[in-house]
């Protein structure tokens, strides 16, 4: 077996590192210093650089001007983005574009994907339902009216919605599997109320009151929403991994310089053991992430396993949620009071880590989902 990344995937990482090299984490708006949302919009100049480097079209087919790469490549780029706390809707945008490309009508693909690849059109997805605890597809009702569909309901904590052009909204029809509607942010009957994330970013409560969606803008393919949800969860794991790795690097640098009793604190056994435990957490987060991303890509080719790919995604999100929390807590402890200094970026990483821990469900929710899968698919 060859576990190395392909040349194309490695090239995507190098391109991402070049784009993110100029992003300073200590310059990212701090939720501790800003009342309400840290900003009204995401980092548009950085978004333009991502578009210019063809990273927004990474997962699009070559005939659409993309590189035709997969979920693993996307996760590699997301990992780099999280290292510097990049304030861009890269995950939601690319994941939604992949869903439209794989399952959308030709009319929908033609309307959204060329602009999405160039970065002139921004996509996001509503994945948290009414409360963040109930399935997102149950929060909105879709009913057919002639050739169109009418949407009624509420989705909460929609990331980057105020700056997006189109929003992917899962819904149920009362029968069969969930459907996925692509709704323009300016649609009649759609209202956005401001919410604020743990990281200080601007979220939106999305209220749909008789929103009319053309039949060609609604995806009825079985499993389309479930795959998008899994891709969003896996991408969140990639963000948690990149963030955690950079936090451990910061901690290593600090404890290697900070001295007590004439010695660097990194040489103390208690410090070294705690850092080693967090390194193990990160390696577990990494291996479960690549397993989940590989299963998502392999599933499109018909490859199966003892459990559906949702099982691998659940395991990855359990490790990501628990692991990133432990990493930032240990980092805060080993930095001492310096870690709470708002002139130092660690508190920003801590806030972002808490958001990623809870995003798309905490570890407990995914443990419950994994238990249900194991009960339904005996491994014997």
Instruction: Determine the average pLDDT of the residues in 226-240.
Output: 98
The whole-number pLDDT of residue 51 equals 98
Is the model's pLDDT at 2 over the cut of 70? no
Contact 331, 310 (CB under 8 A): no
Please state the φ and ψ torsions of residue 248, each to the nearest 5 degrees.
-65, -35
The whole-number pLDDT of residue 1 equals 53
The whole-number pLDDT of residue 255 equals 92
Pairing of strands 263-264, 218-219: unpaired
Task: For 167-215, write each residue's pLDDT tens digit.
Answer: 999 999 988 789 999 999 999 999 999 999 999 999 999 999 999 999 9
Q: What residues form DSSP beta bridges with 170? A: 180
The whole-number pLDDT of residue 306 equals 78
Is the model's pLDDT at 302 over the cut of 70? no
Lowest-pLDDT choice from 79-83, 143-147, 256-260, 350-354? 256-260
Q: How far is CA 185 from the centre of its chain?
A: 20
Task: For 128-166, write each residue's pLDDT tens digit.
Answer: 999 877 899 999 999 999 999 999 999 999 999 999 999
Q: CA 18 to CA 164: how far, in whole Å?
A: 25
Other beta carbons less than 10 A from residue 113's beta carbon: 23
Is the model's pLDDT at 23 over the cut of 70? yes
**Contacts for 79 with CB less than 8 Å, ≥ 6 apart:** 238, 239, 241, 242, 245
Read off the tokens for 212.
């009319």
Q: CA 263 to CA 257: how far, in whole Å?
A: 9
Q: CA 270 to CA 277: how far, in whole Å?
A: 11
Q: Identify which of 69, 43, 172 has the alpha carbon closest to the alpha carbon of residue 51.
A: 43
Range ranked top by mean pLDDT from 241-255, 328-342, 365-379: 241-255
The whole-number pLDDT of residue 380 equals 59
Q: What is the mean pLDDT of the chain?
A: 94
Is the model's pLDDT at 294 over the cut of 60? yes
Is the model's pLDDT at 304 over the cut of 90? no
Q: CA 104 to CA 96: how far, in whole Å?
A: 10
Is the model's pLDDT at 83 over the cut of 60? yes
Contact 226, 299 (CB under 8 A): no
């Amino acid at each position: 077996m060859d576990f190395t990344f392909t040349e194309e995937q490695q090239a995507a990482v190098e391109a991402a590192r070049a784009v993110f090299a100029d992003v300073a984490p200590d310059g990212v708006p701090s939720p501790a210093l800003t009342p309400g949302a840290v900003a009204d919009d995401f980092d548009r100049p950085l978004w333009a650089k991502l578009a210019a480097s063809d990273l927004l079209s990474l997962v699009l087919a070559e005939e659409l001007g993309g590189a035709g790469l997969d979920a693993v490549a996307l996760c590699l780029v997301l990992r780099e983005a999280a290292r510097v706390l990049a304030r861009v809707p890269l995950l939601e945008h690319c994941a939604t574009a992949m869903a439209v490309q794989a399952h959308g009508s030709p009319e929908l693909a033609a309307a959204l994907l060329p602009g999405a690849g160039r970065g002139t059109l921004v996509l996001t997805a509503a994945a948290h339902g009414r409360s963040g605890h109930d399935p997102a597809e149950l929060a909105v009702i879709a009913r057919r009216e002639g050739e169109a569909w009418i949407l009624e309901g509420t989705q909460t904590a929609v990331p980057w919605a105020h700056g997006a052009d189109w929003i992917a909204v899962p819904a149920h029809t009362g029968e069969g599997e969930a459907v996925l509607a692509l709704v323009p942010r300016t649609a009649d009957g759609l209202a956005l109320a401001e919410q604020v994330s743990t990281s200080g970013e601007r979220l939106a409560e999305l209220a749909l009151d008789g929103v009319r969606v053309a039949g060609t803008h609604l995806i009825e393919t079985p499993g389309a929403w479930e795959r998008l949800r899994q891709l969003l969860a896996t991408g969140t794991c990639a963000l948690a991994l990149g963030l955690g790795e950079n936090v451990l690097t910061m901690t290593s640098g600090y404890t290697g310089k900070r001295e007590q009793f004439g010695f660097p604190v990194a040489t103390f056994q208690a410090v070294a053991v705690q850092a080693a435990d967090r390194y193990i957490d990160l390696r577990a987060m990494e291996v479960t992430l690549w397993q989940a991303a590989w299963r998502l890509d392999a599933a499109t080719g018909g490859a199966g396993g003892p459990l559906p790919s949702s099982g691998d995604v659940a395991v990855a999100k359990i490790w990501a949620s628990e692991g990133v929390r432990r990493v930032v807590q240990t980092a805060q402890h080993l930095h001492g009071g310096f870690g709470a200094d708002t002139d130092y970026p660690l508190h920003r990483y801590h806030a972002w880590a808490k958001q990623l821990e809870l995003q798309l469900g905490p570890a407990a929710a995914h443990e419950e989902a994994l238990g249900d899968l194991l009960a339904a698919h005996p491994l014997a």
